[in-house]
Amino acid sequence: MRENTLNRLVKVGTAVLAGSVIGLGGMSAAVANDKLVELQKDEANWVMQGKNYSANHYSTSKQINKKNVKDLSAAWTFSTGLLNGHEGAPLVVGDMMYIHTPFPNNTFAVNLNDPGKIVWEHKPKQDPAARAVACCDVVNRGLAYWPGDSKTPAMIVKSQLDGHVVALNAETGEVHWKVENGDISVGQTQTQAPFVAKDLVIQGSSGAELGVRGYVTAFDIHTGEMAWRWYATGPDSEIGLKDSFNNANPHYGQKNLGTQTWEDDAWKIGGGTNWGWYAYDPDLEMFYYGSGNPAPWNETMRPGDNKWTMTIWGRDINTGLAEFGYQKTPHDEWDYAGVNVMMLSEQKDKNGKMRKLLTHPDRNGIIYTLDRETGDLVSADKMDDTANWVKKVDLETGLPIRDPEFSTRMGHRSRDICPSAMGFHNQGMDSYDPERQLFYLGLNHLCMDWEPFMLPYRAGQFFVGANVWSYPGPKGDRQNGIGSGQVKAYNAITGEFAWEKMEKFSVWGGTMATAGGLVFYGTLDGFIKARDADTGELLWKFKLPSGAIGHPMTYTHKGTQYVAINYGVGGWPAVGLVFDLNDPSAGLGAVGAFKELARNTQMGGGVMVFSLDGKSPYNDLSIGEYEM
């Protein structure tokens, strides 16, 4: 291991050197991600899950707007042929839409000029045992796209539940390479979408509920070679810290904390997996993500701050080394897995200084805004005032001031903790409107009771150690199992909400904003909705075949703006429905909270595409017809 790390460091050093030599030679490396930046700006495309490197899910398209959104109708649909939760969203590049599915993670390419035609499909063969080590349904958050260069054609990159990352020729669907990035026999799976920046594919990890120590890995798109791999816990040489790590904020902690904040070797099964989302700043060449919860859920079995789980990372894309790390939830006691979306913006702070920012609505109920160059904490506001584990986050010390009444510990059943383990915010990918300077947050309103228990660690088995009962929060209707969702428009500098709306169920799938003054999102009870970006007024909705846990996306094809969304309920909130469970504490406490869901939706799986008046390629009746 040590030798491996050393080798890696030498390699990294060489790469850095080579990079600077090229730079000195004046040959600004015409890297493929420049092409990806260009493609992102064109509203014909939706080339990554976050739409662009800022991950703002914001489209400048306004053909569909406040005035005419009532005319939005289904244009065409596609069934994936699978059930279970359909997270993420399709990608669109030029004439092609790329669709992914939950396990066994099939991929379909359809031609937008004749979407009834499947251009290619990729159906992996996977060990069905992979299903047994997925904590929270066999979901997958989507595909990534790399635009190609003179050496290598364009690629669609996917992750598989069984731990593989696969690069497929975007034109033909043929496998370019397939690497192992997780071993189900030790509880590792993959649900996260790969992320492409420069010529690298970044892939995270899953399995903190099985004691998996989190890791993030980069692979060379051309060759499948591993460029770097760094961990969330353990020695600094394995976490990957720059010499200057946290120099701008030494009070966040700096060296040796990946072991010192644990007792003995508990960090080896310490969680911190990252299965959420990334953002990237091409100017700083830094990428951002959050590491997940420590293992096990039983806090008494792991004294210490448990660094660097629950951490917002700013890392150098070339080496993967961390410039800053801010731990949001030291010594987690609630499974507030810190993996949620990172949205980048440029705004003036309270002193009038223009800042490059990242904004991040966490599971723990706090929306964090940091300077994305230095890691400076700019704001940390409760997304709902009912969050009670923390009194407030002290911006000076960066520490959350805990309320001991809502802590968890052995020999005690804690009650009415807010948020629940499911968070006030989960994996949904939200949006930011740079004109209005508002973040549109799809929120959960869920609280819980929690009681830990002792358990041993056995590689490949669950390592949770807590019984949990989740339920709608104080502003919902706990008795009737509804009122567990909210949608809010948030300003990260003032900390104010422009508007707040309750939803019947948790808004799990994220939001999308457009210059048409609209905020789109799907709901667990099976609607896609559009609200007024300024007032939150509900302007349109359509009943999908099943609940939505992915985000809407939009693209313009041949002059027509389309809005598309996956349907197919599942993920953590719907495990009761999906796996036919009744005990309210089953499904890691989700079953009780969502017992009403089955009266509103059943499983499904597909994509629905909308346009004004349902305009579609099939308005020309001859398209796709059999011809002699």
User: Which residue ranges make up the site for another protein (CB under 8 A)?
Assistant: 1, 4, 175-183, 185-186, 188, 212-213, 215, 220, 223-226, 229, 250-254, 257, 260-261, 263-266, 268-269, 300-301, 303-305, 307, 327, 330-331, 394, 397, 399-404, 407, 409-410, 454, 456-460
List C-alpha distances in Å: 479 to 58, 470, 482, 483, 564: 37, 12, 8, 10, 35
CB of 269 to another protein, least distance (A): 6
Residues in the chain: 628
State the Cα angle at 177 between 28 and 554, rounded to 5°. Answer: 70
Nearer to another protein, 181 or 514 (CB): 181
Instruction: For residue 575, give the DSSP letter.
Output: H
> Which residue, 465 or 485, has its beta carbon nearer to another protein?
465
d(CA 91, CA 195): 13
Rounded to the nearest whole angstrom, what is the least distance from the CB of residue 429 to another protein in the complex? Answer: 28
Q: Which long-range contacts (CB under 8 A, 24 or more apart) does 400-409 make?
A: 400/328, 400/329, 400/330, 400/364, 400/366, 407/299, 407/333, 408/299, 408/333, 408/334, 408/450, 408/451, 408/452, 408/466, 409/299, 409/300, 409/333, 409/452
Q: How far is the CB of 586 from another protein (least distance, A)?
A: 25
Peptide bond into 545 cis (omega under 30): no
Question: At closest approach, how far in Å is the CB of 327 from another protein?
Answer: 7
Closest CB to another protein among residues 407, 602: 407
- Quick one: 166 or 487, whose CB is closer to another protein? 166
What whole-number distance in Å separates Cα of residue 563 and Cα of residue 70?
13
Shortest distance in whole angstroms from residue 183 CB to another protein: 4
Residue 581 Cβ, how far from another protein at the closest point, in Å? 28
- Residue in this structure with the two tokens 């009038």, named with its chain if needed: 352
List, by residue number, the catalytic residues. Answer: 335
**Least distance to another protein, CB of residue 471, Å:** 25
Residue (43 or 333) nearer to another protein, CB: 333
Q: Shortest distance, CB of residue 172 to another protein, whole angstroms?
A: 14
Distance of CA 317 to the CA centre of its chain: 18
Q: Give me the DSSP letters along 356-386.
A: EEEEEE-TTSEEEEEETTT--EEEEEESSTT
Distance CA 54, CA 320 (A): 18
Long-range contacts of 458-463 (CB under 8 A, 24+ apart): 459/185, 459/186, 459/187, 459/211, 460/133, 460/184, 460/185, 460/186, 460/187, 460/210, 461/187, 461/210, 462/135, 462/187, 462/209, 462/210, 463/187, 463/209, 463/210, 463/211, 463/269, 463/295, 463/296
Give SS3 for 226.
strand
Nearer to another protein, 240 or 472 (CB): 240
Q: Where are the beta strands (DSSP E) in 319-362?
A: 322-327, 343-348, 354-361
Cβ closest to another protein, residue 268 vs residue 436: 268
Which residue's CB is nearer to another protein, number 305 or number 316? Answer: 305
Q: How is 540-571 classified by DSSP, letter by letter? A: EEEE-SS---S--EEEEETTEEEEEEEE---T
Per DSSP, 154 falls in state -
- Whose Cβ is closer to another protein: residue 117's or residue 458's? 458
- The vertex-78 CA angle with 77 and 79, nearest 5°, equals 130
Dist CA 543 CA 295 (whole Å): 39
Please tell me whether residue 515 adopts helix, strand or coil conformation. Answer: coil
CB atoms within 10 A of CB 377: 20
Shortest separation between residue 224's beta carbon and another protein, angstroms = 5
- Our CB check for another protein shows the closer of 455 and 623 to be 455
Task: Return phi, psi of residue 160, to 5°.
Answer: -120, 150
Closest CB 147 distance from another protein, rounded Å: 20
> Do residues 274 and 290 make contact, with C-beta atoms less than 8 angstroms apart?
yes
